[in-house]
Amino acid sequence: MNKFFKTVLLTGLFVGTTDIISAFINVYIKTGKFPEKMFNYIAGGALGLPAALNGGTAAAFLGLFSHYFIAFSFTLFFFLVFPKLKFLAFNKYLIGMLYAVFVSQAMALILKLTALPSGPFNLAGVFVGWIELGVIFGIPIVYNTYKYYRVE
């Protein structure tokens, strides 16, 4: 496996894992219960929520696959556009936080196209989500991209 794909694969695996762990922790903090159907809920974007929640293990695997596919896609996207957009080499932490906002907004648009219900809008929650996503998703992607392309 060449170095580019290995770096993208490991980065995508890392940010996908930290993102889902964060989601599990958030749900547990909010509800006090372990979210047993988290991956089924994610599969609800493709299958519809009732079918996914009753879909058992197969639906859960679809949700798991979907989650990591999205994480890998956003990771690969950044690695590919980075050498073409010179302004992305400005500051890895700022760019990581801004990339998280971009990912968050892109996912919000994508989720509107799915069968998942949208929750109530909470401005404070949006900002906290951006910071959280920046730390666990955006900064690791940008950090590894800088490291791969040898940007100081």
| CB neighbour list of residue 69: distance below 8 Å, 6 or more residues apart | none
In DSSP notation, 40-51 reads HHHHHHHH-HHH
Check whether 57 has a pLDDT greater than 80: yes
User: What is the identity of the amino acid at 89?
Assistant: A
pLDDT tens column, 19-45: 999 999 999 999 999 999 999 999 999
Q: How many domains does the chain have?
A: 1
pTM above 0.75, yes or no: yes
Residue range(s) defining the domain that contains residue 73: 3-149
For residue 148, how many C-alpha atoms fall within 13 Å in the half-sphere facing its CB?
Answer: 23
Residue 120 is encoded by which pair of tokens? 């109530």
